[in-house]
Every structure is written in structure tokens, then in C-alpha cells.
Structure 1
């Protein structure tokens, strides 16, 4: 609800304008997601990443029950259940790869490499969605992958299992974003979110059973925190998108790198080197440029569509264009 909506509804004005509140919510979401990663890192010392993924989904479902109770299950009628199942399966695999990677590498490095998802999304959008990706976005994508090489330093330390897993997670995450984009053409956002919650928990349980470990007594607070931080982050992120344009919110996602770097230094004693900072800066710059270009193209398409519609209306006999009506009064 915007400030004008509050005035018309008789409700008191919000303390902060919508864009400011959206920015704070986005930053809060990134902090919660960083704490989620820290909880996973903490648990990785005694539990397999597959089991952690199951507990994250289970307690995420528990914390989402009030939301599900409020919105109901009536929106789940669909003819695309197979697509939902495929999307949820990829999401679970992506989560398992990302969680397992944290057992093998610093949390900051894993987060930095996870920002390759927009780069993969650009490639998949061109190949699957047949979007017209021009030279500038391809150049930004190549620049982003050069940042990945800087972080990885393949010629010195080599590329380990953790790096392979986190990049695989980013690729799967990008694939999921493309699937969600196709789903959103015919399905409501409520149905997309609800199916994700309902399907992920049983899907994550199957591989977790092969690496099952019950959490120790000291680990249970972190297990519960998986669902709590994940749900709070999701709710803040969703609310931020409802209050501001996606192009204004997406850049805040990179603040996760600041949060997890601080957590890694003070919680786990990790010290990123200069190659990490340089490569991260390149990856972030490429991702921000791609987001800016996509926002520009969306605005351009919207303007062109509006102009075409206005032209068509003015060409119809007996219909006076809106701007002429005002002038002729």
C-alpha cells in the first residue's frame, strides 16, 4: 500500500516512504539469508548437506503454515503440476549442492560464486526463452565469468569440490528462475510459492535418508534457525518486491556478500584474500549491469507498447485520443 493509498483509506501514514521501507526490507532479507548460510556452515561439521537441506525445508514449511492457512489451498488448481514438480526438484538439488559446498569452502567465497546465477540466467534466457541478448549483455556475462576465474584462481590452488558444487548450485538456481518465468505467464505467484513449499520437503527427504544424522542437542537451535531465517528472508524479500520495482530491489542482493564476509571473519575466523575482493567486485559489477540493462529494456518495451496502443486508438473512427479530449474541453 502506497502513501496515497493510506490517505484514501483513512489509515495513518507510514513512518517511512515505500522506497525506503522496501530497501530496508531487502537489506533485512539479505541479512536473514546470510544468517541462514551461517547456520548451514555451523551444522556442516556434524551433518551432511543433504540432511541439512531436508531440515531447512521442513522447518521452512512449519514457519509457512500460518501463511498457508491465511491464503488457503484453492489456488493450487493447475494443469502444470509436472512443471511445478520439475521446478521444485531442481530447487532441492540446487539447495543440496549449495549447502554441501559450505562444508568445503569459506562462506564468503561460496556466496561470491553464487552470484554467477544472473550470468547463467542470461545464457539460458537466450537459449531457452529465445530472448534477444545483445552484445552488451554478452560482454557483461563474459566479464562476470572472468571474475569467477579471479576468485577461483584455478592455476594456483585448483578448483575443488566446494567450488564445483556452488557453481552447479548457481546454474540450477538460474534454471529455476527461467522455469518460474515461464510459470508466471499462466500461474499466480501464490500458487508458485505454495507448490514450492509443499513439494520441497518430501523431495528433500529422499536423498537425506541416505546420509541421515539426527542433530545433536546443541545443534537443534541451528536446525530451527534454518527454517526461521529462510522464512523471514523470503517474507522480507517478497514484501520488498511488492513495495518497489524489481530493478530497484535486485542490487541490494549483493549486500549478502558484505554480511557473509563479516560473519565468516568473526564467527568462523575466515580471512578473504585480495583475489576474492577483486573477483567479487567484477562479478557484482557484471550482475548489476545486466540487471540495469534488463530494467532499461523492460521500460523501453513498455513505452513502445503504450505508444502502439495510443496510435491504434487514435486511428479508430469515432474515438478521440485522451490528450485531445482534455484540450477540446
Structure 2
């Protein structure tokens, strides 16, 4: 579906009717039958999803656990291939994993670290600077600036394993920004992070949106992330993208103001409840509901 509030400029990210199916071997009958004629279970992780992200926009991707959010992020980075549909990222096909595209993307996975666990933080920064071949003065200037904004410049000599979760995520964000990406992918960056750190992370995201005009995709369960950072929102459940619009339009549809986080969470829960399947559980933020399709977005493929 297309959002009429989008700019007429070429989007930095564009998905057109993209689907992705996970396949796992079905274990039935004798083992030798599986060798001769293997059977597979299929799970539709993403169902003909279409969306766009333009420069200067932050799209909040929201959905229950297992809805397909991480699958979508992996498709944008080329870690997964779509089964159908088309994806354009910065004018490239992400499935080809071209350096010209990857060098313009920054990624933060809240559940996984890009930092070397047993080494000081600065060693990871030095390695990333060489990998992206960003001029050292440019890389170090931006890294120092963002580190000061997030108040982590004193952590550069500390081993990553000694950092708190909030400190590590801040380091991850600085690392993702220091090579000056045009697209920033944030997969649940504030999960488990303390309130002050969340505020600092949101402030930096907003600052780069204003100053750098990059595109940001933010997956989150925290409605405060949406209200603080996002210009647009997409709702995803069981692989289906069923709502895609400017955040202000969605708030207007719900009759809410931009400072009503509790009201927005309640309305989102109702929206997902209305589309749930059977009696399975939906987990959204801190609330567990009946409904939904369980899936491990990090399933090996």
C-alpha cells in the first residue's frame, strides 16, 4: 500500500509486494523416505509487504513477537532473499550484497552485538573504520561527537563484556553512525535499556534525522520510541503489513495527541487483537494477549 503523504522524491528504501517463506524439514516416516522424497513445512514470514522510506524519515515498524520484523530487516541487508517481490535499497538490489550498498548502511541489533566482546571498545571502532575505508579524520570526528552526545567517550578503553546493556547499545549506535550511512536500521535498540539511556538514544536519532537527512527503520515494542522519533508507522502481524501511514494520521485516526503514549499502546493492542488468529498468544511490549502466530525471527535458514 502507498502512503500519499510520502515525498515525490525517489525513496531510499522501497519494497514492492515482498514475500518470504521459511521452510523446515518435516520429520515423518522412515529416514530413508526423507532422503528419497523430503517433505517440508512452510511458514509465511512476510506476505506481499510494500513500503517506502525517504531521506529524513523514520519509519517505526511495530508488531507482536514473531510478526516478521527481523525478517524484514534481514531482507533489507541482503542476509535473506525474498521469495517474490522487489526490494530496492539505496538504488541497489540488497540480495547482491554489493559493497557500494553495504558501505552506506548502519545496523544496530538490540539482541546481538557488533562489538568484539573481549576487547576494548576502541578496537571495534578501529576495525570498522578500516572495513568501511572511511577517512580516519571523518570517522574519528563523528565517532567522538556521537560518543560525547551519548556520554560514552570514557568507555573506549573498557572491554565490551564489562559494559552495561545501555552502555553497549550506545556504543553500537555510535559505531553504526561513524561511517556516515544514508540508511540506519535499528532492530529493537531500546529493549532492556534504562530510561535515561532511552532518552539519549532517541535524542541522537532525532539529531541525525535533522542534520544528515538519512532514512531510519526502527523496529520497537516501545510506543515512546514511536512518538519521539518516527514520522511514519507500519503495523505488521503474522507477516501481513496491514497499516502503513504517517504517524500523525494514525494518531488522528485513533483520536490521540502525540504525548499520549498509554493511549497509543492501548489502541495498537486493540488493532492487533482485532486481527489475531485463534487462541494463540500475542506479546506486544509489556502486555501479553491471546492471538498471533509464534515464530523465531532469528531462525537459521
Q: So what's the TM-score if we normalise by structure 1?
A: 0.25
Say which structure is richer in strand. Answer: 2
Q: Which has the larger radius of gyration?
A: 1
Q: So what's the TM-score if we normalise by structure 2?
A: 0.26
Structure with greater contact order relative to length (CA < 8 Å, sep ≥ 6): 1
